[in-house]
Amino acid sequence: MVQFISDVDQRTRLAGQNRMELLLFYLGTPQLFGINVFKVREVIAKPTLSHLPGSSPLVCGIATIRGRTVSVIDLARAIGFAPMPVDQNNDAKVIVAEFNRAVQGFWVSAVERIVDVNWEQVKPPPRGTDRESYLVAVTEVNGQLVEIIDVERVFAQINHLDTHVAPEVQAEAKVIPHDRRILVVDDSLVARKKIERTIAELGFRTESRSDGKAALDYLEELAAADMVDQSIELIISDIEMPRMDGYTLSRKIREHPKLKHLRIILHSSLSGQFNVDMVRRVGADDFLAKFDPTELGMAVLKYARHDTR
């Protein structure tokens, strides 16, 4: 298992090519699930868990992992499946993930493998499915459907973070013209709503799209009608999205003669120096790790000013 996950850092080099790597796993049923390797620190055999009084029923317990206390979430229960027995599955693993500025563990029944996937092959979840609200996307691997879980939504169920912009930042926003919209691009409904609330507190209106391809199509329509400068103040985009990731979206915007002047903030649950470096390579203006509403609000004030054009 150590070797299984040891090449994760090397595999993240696929980013910027509209590709990613998925870690595949099971939740006690034949259905295959996935999580972006970018979010994974390591996969470990099931640890000894301690009960945490007053914790969410979605939390199996806490474990000490590499000297750090980590909450372990029953991922099956979090997305509406039956709880997985903690003591009965010797193949159970914990996926130790880092995103949204936190480290948490996901209890899974078994881990399959890592696969290379093109974002163009990753599609939005089908509407009307029982687990639709817990999925950000689906794809196929060797003819088998893989459901990619919205771990941000899972995380939000047990961590109720502050969603308000500091009053002083809201006050500063009042002196900025608000005649154009901020384009929000994110495949997670939970993330989009948080960002939209933050922007609303600053007095801006939003236009939202759920993936990079839809956002680029919208921007190209505006460009064809010579309506870009009248319509869009700033773009805030996630990185990992179906059909087209945020890196590719940023690069294509910079290559378009009528879009290249637009300001772009990449706003992702993924963190680390790698993303900061990639921001420079693809031509985005800034990178922010999710989710600090005041920090995001300050970034909006920095880039949403008419004199920066």
Q: Is 125 within 8 Å of 132 (Cβ atoms)? A: yes
Q: What stretch(es) of the chain map to CATH 3.40.50.2300?
A: 167-308
Cα 71 to Cα 210: distance, rounded to the nearest angstrom:
30
Q: What is the mean pLDDT of the chain?
A: 85
- Amino acid at the residue 237: S
Residue 11, pLDDT score: 46
Highest mean pLDDT among 55-59, 240-244, 284-288: 284-288
Residue 3, pLDDT score: 42
Higher pLDDT, 8 or 151: 151
Residue 260, pLDDT score: 96
Q: Is the pLDDT assigned to residue 8 strictly greater than 60?
A: no
- Amino acid at the residue 271: S
**Across 280-286, average pLDDT:** 89
Q: Is 71 within 8 Å of 57 (Cβ atoms)? A: no
Cα 218 to Cα 210: distance, rounded to the nearest angstrom:
12
* Six token digits for residue 199: 């922007």
Cα 237 to Cα 183: distance, rounded to the nearest angstrom:
8
Q: What is the pTM of this model?
A: 0.79
Q: What number does CATH give the domain 2-157?
A: 2.40.50.180
Q: What stretch(es) of the chain map to CATH 2.40.50.180?
A: 2-157
Q: Does the structural domain 167-308 have CATH classification 1.10.3720.10? A: no
Q: Going by C-beta distance under 8 Å and a sequence separation of 6 or more, which residues neighbour residue 22? A: 34, 35, 36, 37, 114, 115, 117, 139, 141, 146, 148
Cα 259 to Cα 219: distance, rounded to the nearest angstrom:
8
The pLDDT tens digits of the residues spanning 141-169 come to 999 999 999 888 888 888 766 678 999 99
The pLDDT tens digits of the residues spanning 261-276 come to 999 999 987 765 556 6
**Across 37-41, average pLDDT:** 83
Residue 257, pLDDT score: 97
Residue 129, pLDDT score: 58
21 exposure class (CB count in 10 Å sphere: 0-12, 13-18, 19+): buried
Q: Is 205 within 8 Å of 181 (Cβ atoms)? A: yes
Q: Is 284 within 8 Å of 185 (Cβ atoms)? A: no
Highest mean pLDDT among 52-61, 81-90, 213-222, 245-254: 213-222
